[in-house]
Amino acid sequence: MTSSTDKILVLDFGGQYNQLIARRVRSEHVYAEIRAFSSITPEEIIKEKYSGIIFTGGPNSVFDESSPHYDPKVLSLGLPILGICYGAQLMAYMAGGEVTSAENSSEYGKTELSVSDNPLFIDVPAKSTCWMSHTDYIKRPPAGFEIIATTDKCPCAAMCDSKRNLYAVQFHPEVTHTDYGQQIIRNFLFKICRLSQSWKMDNFISASANSLQKTLAGKNVLLALSGGVDSSVAAVLLHKAIGSRLTCVFVDHGLLRKDEGDLVEKTFSGAFGINLIRVNAQERFLSKLKGVTEPEKKRKIIGEEFIRVFEEEAKKLEKTEVLAQGTIYPDVIESGKGDAAVIKSHHNVGGLPKDILFESVVEPLRDLFKDEVREVGLKLGLPKEIVFRQPFPGPGLAVRIIGEVTKEKLDILREADAIFRCEIENSRYVLGANQYFAVLTDVKSVGVMGDARTYGRTVVLRSVATDDFMTAEWTKLPYEVLEKASSRITNEIKGITRVVYDITSKPPATVEWE
């Protein structure tokens, strides 16, 4: 939680862009918090000292009884408000304007916007392009409001009551298709709310380290470190605050990528001098996975074994009162809870044991978006290899080996994966690919090497581009990259006779093969 009162409330009415709005505000160095409209009253808004409010869009129509409505008192709190799309219609509806619906006035996509002279539109040209997505529209603004923008089909594309600092836009300033969207957000923050730019990662680091020092005074803290971005940044931040009272447990289950375990150890134990317990549990995981071929069963075994190992290590430690977790803001919003005492069932650590008793849980990154976490990581001196690491599944290479997981297969896959990643990273196409890796199948085929017949395994190369990993497109890697990777893999790794490239998007496929 920021100590500053320079903060914006993003009042969420179910719009698909709610996180994007908060990120746009934060990119201007102003702290923004998303709250569901049903989770906060106007009285609480005042108590929590917000400096301005943004009403998000939403899929509903204000006429629908069941659609999200809000206490009209919010308009008289004396706080500046910007309503966006549904939020704009809701503002009009609450203040007594006329909102109507007409098929022929719906707009979708890029639309020409004409704006008048208004603080919201400082440095916005009289005509520009905005992004529209609506069927209902404001036909008549409420008393006290004036129309400040129009489009061909929309008589009121923006309105304001400048006396009360209430502003509303029918279009979406938060999406990049609105040419001057960021400028409009900037105007709202700095010309209308008159905020200062206090949300800076340097400030965050020092404020957060100070507050962790206070709340964790005299206490020992345990963190499950996976080597992924979130737990890594949490570790370094906590270490800055409480030094040797932090212990990190890094479970090396033997399913990591080439040299990954050593990189984690070298970084945290070596460079940062953090108390790190690396548990070399490779044999243990392999023996549990022996003979198992079913993907879900593999995941379950790995998750459960992870818990057992972590639990054993935690019990060995003397008096550890606090469990730390690398939960970040999207996790908090998506879980809808925001309850610090609930131990998150984290993908990467397989769900931490509820029966290990900790007095409390600390989540130092729970206010940050991923890009902010990365910025903090860089500022704290974490290497780029860790800060910009691609996502890696908790069950590791086990879900990239089809069929039974064995040491031999793991060794082959690690090498093939390292070669493919190296070839992509050496090419300039790395920017277009968000996740790229190799998969080892059980399919064997005939090959020829020199004059001899070979019979070996098939490696699949997979590379995808995605924003959110819910959907993904296979990347059109240049042939030269594929050719080089294929030739190196078949030449350098014994046992591989064939390399294929996965050209399936998600859906219908998933990113991982298992």
Which pair of structure tokens corresponds to residue 415?
């090498």
Kindly report the number of other CB atoms within 10 A of residue 326's CB atom: 28
Active site residues: 85, 172, 174
x-or-dash string of contact with ligand XMP, 384-423, rule CB under 6 A: -------x-xxx----------------------------
Cis peptide before 508 (omega within 30 of 0): yes
The residue among 350 and 456 lying less far from ligand XMP, judged by its C-beta, is 350
The residue among 142 and 394 lying less far from ligand XMP, judged by its C-beta, is 394
Q: What is the spatial distance between Cα 216 and Cα 321, in angstroms, rounded to a whole number? A: 9
The residue among 173 and 395 lying less far from ligand XMP, judged by its C-beta, is 395
Give least dist CB 417 to ligand XMP, A.
Answer: 13
Question: CA geometry: angle at 415 spanning 410 and 417, to 5°?
Answer: 90
DSSP lists the bridge partners of residue 487 as none
Which pair of structure tokens corresponds to residue 416?
């093939």
Name the phi and psi angles at 137, rounded to 5.
Answer: -150, 165
Interface with ligand XMP (CB under 6 A), residue from 435, 441, 458, 504: 435
Give least dist CB 510 to ligand XMP, A.
Answer: 3
The residue among 202 and 425 lying less far from ligand XMP, judged by its C-beta, is 425
x-or-dash string of contact with ligand XMP, 477-506, rule CB under 6 A: -----------------------------x
Give least dist CB 226 to ligand XMP, A.
Answer: 8
x-or-dash string of contact with ligand XMP, 200-229, rule CB under 6 A: ------------------------------
Sequence-distant (6+) residues with CB within 8 A of 14 are: 56, 58, 59, 60, 68, 86
The residue among 213 and 345 lying less far from ligand XMP, judged by its C-beta, is 345
Give least dist CB 439 to ligand XMP, A.
Answer: 11
Q: Is there binding between residue 370 and ligand XMP (CB under 6 A)?
A: no
Cis peptide before 393 (omega within 30 of 0): no
Q: What is the spatial distance between Cα 460 and Cα 446, in angstroms, rounded to a whole number? A: 16
Tokens 């790395």, located at residue: 430
Contact call for residues 49 and 77 (beta carbons, < 8 A): no
Give least dist CB 437 to ligand XMP, A.
Answer: 8
Residue of 116, 74, 115 whose CA lies nearest to 95: 74
| Count of residues that interact with ligand XMP, criterion CB under 6 A | 13
Residue of 301, 279, 277, 364 whose CA lies nearest to 327: 364
Interface with ligand XMP (CB under 6 A), residue from 348, 463, 475, 490: 348
The residue among 11 and 438 lying less far from ligand XMP, judged by its C-beta, is 438
SS (H, E, C) 470-484: CCEEECCCCHHHHHH
Contacting residues toward ligand XMP, per CB under 6 A? 299, 347-348, 391, 393-395, 435, 469, 506, 510-512
